Chains A and B, each alone.
Chain A
Amino acid sequence: MAKLSPKLAFDAVVWLLLATMPFWLDRLGGYTQLGSQILVMALAAMALNFLLGYTGVLSFGHAAYFGLGAYGVGMTIKYLAGGTLSGLLVGVLVGAVAAAVIGLLIVHLRGIYFAMVTIAFGQVFYFIAFRWNTVTGGDDGLSGWHRLPIDLGFTSLDIVKSQTAFYYFVFVFFIIAVAIMAWLLRSPFGRTLLAIRENERRARFLGIPVDRHIWLSWLISCFFVSLAGGLYGLLNNFADPHALRWDQSGIFVIMAVLGGMRSFWGPLVGAAIYVVLQDYLSSLTQNWMSFIGLFFILIVLFFPRGVLGFVRRRLAS
């Protein structure tokens, strides 16, 4: 048998920790809902990193698709009497379709211009959610609905009352999404994305249709962010217009950077740190926004490679 590589061992530890989270999180002073929140945010940050870390394209507007996922699931359950799964499907489709259309408009742009346009486009959906009171609940958000038990035919899964059951419900989607992203990144398609990140001009000369690849990467990224958004809606039984705002987009980016955007698990680490920190700070002080802002600045100035980037460097030297 081949020697266990550190990378595989790390993967195993991550999966083991995630699979057993509801059993040890309480003892460390957390609660299961916080665990679900970490999973959801980690999925969103990892999806963003598919585009940011592996394709080298900076989007600062991913909250739009996150929010669309949340509103999609909420509105399906509230107005169409849909179930949890069909709501999730609608949320993901709505987010993906919006991303596909907007992607066509922006895929020719690069760098700073791309970032700016994604910021601005993100706001469209925020204003729709904010202004269309009668349907979206406006500033108060979309409430008055909740996730429903899932009928599996032979048994029904009660994810409504049991937080632990809901955690594993999220975990299943997390596994599927992460597996697909990991598989895509190992495929020739994923290698092509890396080539574009490293040197776009050279990739173009090799005959790679760069714009189409970036569009696909953008679409895949937004697809999984919408899924995370849908799960976020289910987690809170609520869709919040602030989940659509540019603040949230920035938070996804900082999660990826904090954990290390050149590592596959980096955004997970970043999301876990961010979620726990925010939970702690907001229980401590009203001015948690200042501390989060300060935290951003400190990371950028002193810790730009993120936790895993830092660890990797240490191990290498």
Chain B
Amino acid sequence: MTQLILYNVFNGLIIGAFYALMALGLSLILNLSDVINFAHGGFLAVGAYLAYVLIPFIGFWGALVVAPILTAILGLLVERVLIRPLYGRDVLYSLLLTFGLAFMLQDGTRFIWGPQTLPFSVPDWLSTPLSSQFFFLTGYRLFMVLLVSVAVIAFFLILHYSRLGIRIRAGTQDLETVSALGVNVRALRSLNFGVGIYLAGLAGVLAAGMLGLQPTIGDNLIMPSFVAIIIGGLGSLPGTLVGGLLIGVASGVTSVFFPSASEAVIYIMMGIVLLIRPRGLFGEEGRF
């Protein structure tokens, strides 16, 4: 029993890490540009499929580096052509646009690669269990937790100490003033969007190694990412991280005792948080 719970807590942490990685990207775009990017799951799938295509040529490690960058470039293009005209307009429009984009990305991947689950090979030494007692601790899972941790730490370091990161945080607080201080806000928003999509692409490559490759791979991750943002508090990136891990573990533990509620439980948590603390766990008061 202890082992089962431990297994599910660990599993929940991994799933939570996915949610967090995806939600951080969403949150970044939401905070600076007021755009709810529905197509985030679609970009995640694009990242995964690009890796699938690249692996035969440059191997898993090469794909892990290159695929998210290519996804981010696609993201930059989309931002430039489709999303930029909508800044400053009602939230409704960017929401509908990315919604349509999500349809197109999902159907596009299905059209190109087919609806079936494709095999996605990770290096052999990563997929063997590390010990027989803790059978669930495959190298790949451990590696994923490690890589996500590194990515998240790097992300927060960049956000806090680099010039770009400081500008992004300042823009989140007051974009007008940042603009008045001579920062090119257009470029800032573009780069910010690119970083967000990069995180989605990275999550995609990692998720493909664990969950298998399907056109709907991002679909199942996007709603929990919204919940992670709401629980953590809109406008707070550390909150988003905590929210993602929290709901991952919660749904992992629930799946031990009451498997069929493992999805619903995160929405119940969201309801409770909204009831007690409407701005979310780490949200600033009065911002939303």
Residues of A within 8 A of B (CB): 52, 58, 60, 102, 105-106, 108-113, 115-117, 119-121, 123-124, 127-128, 130-132, 246-247, 250, 253-254, 257, 287, 289-290, 292-297, 299-301, 304
CA distance A300 to B268 in the complex (A): 33
Q: Using A124-B267, A131-B264 as known contacts, say yes or no to A111 and B100 having CB atoms under 8 A apart.
A: no
Q: Using A120-B223, A250-B99 as known contacts, say yes or no to A105 and B106 having CB atoms under 8 A apart.
A: no
User: How far in angstroms is the closest Cβ of chain B from A81?
Assistant: 27
User: How far in angstroms is the closest Cβ of chain B from A223?
Assistant: 21
Chain B positions within 8 Å of A257 at CB level: 92, 96
Chain B positions within 8 Å of A304 at CB level: 89, 93
Can you list 12 pairs linking A and B with CB atoms under 8 Å apart? A113-B230, A116-B229, A117-B274, A132-B260, A247-B103, A289-B103, A290-B111, A293-B99, A293-B100, A296-B99, A299-B96, A304-B89
Q: Does B275 reach chain A (CB closer than 8 Å)?
A: yes
CA distance A13 to B86 in the complex (A): 35
Contact residue among B34, B91, B92, B100 (Cβ-Cβ distance under 8 Å from A297): B100
User: How far in angstroms is the closest Cβ of chain A from B262?
Assistant: 9
| Smallest CB gap from A295: residue in B | B100
Chain B positions within 8 Å of A105 at CB level: 271, 274-275
**B230 and A112 form a contact (CB under 8 A):** no
**B104 and A290 form a contact (CB under 8 A):** yes
**B227 and A120 form a contact (CB under 8 A):** yes
CA distance A253 to B159 in the complex (A): 35
Q: Does B108 reach chain A (CB closer than 8 Å)?
A: yes
**B36 and A292 form a contact (CB under 8 A):** no
CA distance A113 to B232 in the complex (A): 13
Interface contact tally, CB-CB below 8 A: 127
**A127 and B111 form a contact (CB under 8 A):** no
**A123 and B229 form a contact (CB under 8 A):** no
Interface residues of B in 72-102 (CB under 8 A from A): 82, 85-86, 89-97, 99-102
| Smallest CB gap from B234: residue in A | A113
Chain A positions within 8 Å of B268 at CB level: 124
**A300 and B226 form a contact (CB under 8 A):** no
User: How far in angstroms is the closest Cβ of chain B from A130?
Assistant: 8
CA distance A119 to B226 in the complex (A): 8
Chain A positions within 8 Å of B30 at CB level: 112
User: How far in angstroms is the closest Cβ of chain B from A218?
Assistant: 15
| Smallest CB gap from B270: residue in A | A120
Q: A52-B92, A119-B36, A293-B104 are in contact. List 4 more A-B contacts (CB 8 A).
A: A116-B36, A128-B264, A295-B100, A301-B85
CA distance A60 to B98 in the complex (A): 13
Chain B positions within 8 Å of A52 at CB level: 92
User: How far in angstroms is the closest Cβ of chain A from B86?
Assistant: 7
**B97 and A301 form a contact (CB under 8 A):** yes
Top-10 shortest CB links A-B = A296-B100, A293-B103, A293-B104, A289-B107, A290-B107, A293-B100, A113-B288, A124-B267, A127-B263, A300-B97
Q: Does B278 reach chain A (CB closer than 8 Å)?
A: yes
Chain A positions within 8 Å of B95 at CB level: 58, 60, 115, 253
Against A, the Cβ 8 Å flags (1 = close, 0 = not) of B228-271 are 01100010000000000000000000000000110110011011
| Smallest CB gap from A296: residue in B | B100
CA distance A111 to B92 in the complex (A): 9
**B104 and A294 form a contact (CB under 8 A):** yes
